[in-house]
Structure 1
Amino acid sequence: MDEIVYKLESLITKGVAYISQSSDAEMTQKPLPEKWSRKEILGHLIDSGINNLQRFTEIQTANKPFKIRQYKQDDLVKANNYQDAELKEIANFWASINNRVCYVIKQQTKETLSYKIELPSDEISDLRFLIEDYVDHLEYHLNQIVK
């Protein structure tokens, strides 16, 4: 997990550096009316962080396999109205939630990483996969922001 932790820490640093030098106008510009702005992508990453932090912690005491519940990403971005939110506030929240996720990842053991999960597709995997997938997902979307 050391590589994943390092990757997540690097992504947090990269995101904070980019966002702190970006204007609200740059972050709220939409490529197309139906597409998310950079700010909304950041909001989606907050929602992802919240949901995954909950998964990473609940699995510790839940019956296995732990069922992964999907969340409605578009609805959450709209409900949270990230487009009109203060950039500094959501940037700080994004960094904070990911610092907390990073801390929780560091607490995992060989045993806990092998905890079984059931994906929405009914496939069985483990917590290690879920953590790696989370960090890969974050990297994918952060690259959309830091173009």
Structure 2
Amino acid sequence: MAVYSTSLATPTLTESCTQLAEQLDLLARYWETYSEADLAEYPGPGRWSRKEILGHLIDSALNNYRRMVLAQLGPPPHRLRPYDQDAWVRIGDYQHLPSAELLTLWTSQNRLILHVLNRLPAELLDYEYLTVNGNPTTLPWLIADYVLHLEHHVRQIIHY
């Protein structure tokens, strides 16, 4: 399993896609081993349950899919827009959805992301993007960052 570090070169698009697919398979293997009670359990005040963490990953997939589509619709530079993660999880009310549906939704969204990534025109990989803080970056860095974020939360779910 690859681990990305800010001190290393940005992974290639192919490497990021491979890592994303590995995370989908990894969580699928573990998710079904937990009971609904395990997945809904809160580890402490102000912390998300496993179901809510996966809900957060669903929200992240939605927001990142949007970024990848918009990158292909307009000229650079593209500026990332923040979103209120806690509010999205609260409004999504993931705690009260069946766990199998959550996993299916998350997996499907990420399969769609993989499909779009595999069809990205090469010239988009060099376009400038501006982070939420206005720092310049590239689409490969944003994709690798998305995968790293996803990997962090998959580990969090598994090693709760």
Structure-2-length-normalised TM-score: 0.88
Alignment of 1:53-68 (within 5 A): 53-68=65-80
Is 1:90 equivalent to 2:93 in the alignment? no
Deviations along 1:6-46, whole A, 9 cap, x unmatched?
Answer: 11111000111111222111111111021001110000000
> Please, what is the CA RMSD of the aligned residues?
1.0
Deviations along 1:60-89, whole A, 9 cap, x unmatched?
Answer: 112311110001000000000011111111
Could you tell me how far 1:109 is from its partner in structure 2? 3.7
Segments of structure 1 that go 5 or more residues without pairing to the other structure are none
Number of the residue aligned with 1:19: 31
Of residues 117, 129, 136, the one that matches 1:124 is 136
Could you tell me how far 1:104 is from its partner in structure 2? 1.2
Could you tell me how far 1:110 is from its partner in structure 2? 3.1
Equivalent residue of 1:125, what SS? strand
Alignment of 1:104-119 (within 5 A): 104-119=116-131
Segments of structure 2 that go 5 or more residues without pairing to the other structure are 1-12
Number of the residue aligned with 1:140: 152
Equivalent residue of 1:60, what SS? coil
Distance 2:58 2:26 in 1: 16
Number of the residue aligned with 1:44: 56
**Runs of 4+ with >3 A deviation:** none
Number of the residue aligned with 1:74: 86
More helix by share: 1
Distance 1:3 1:13 in 2: 16
Distance 1:68 1:45 in 2: 17
User: Percent same amino acid among aligned pairs?
Assistant: 35
Is 1:9 equivalent to 2:25 in the alignment? no
Letter in 1 for 2:120: Q
Give the aligned length. 147
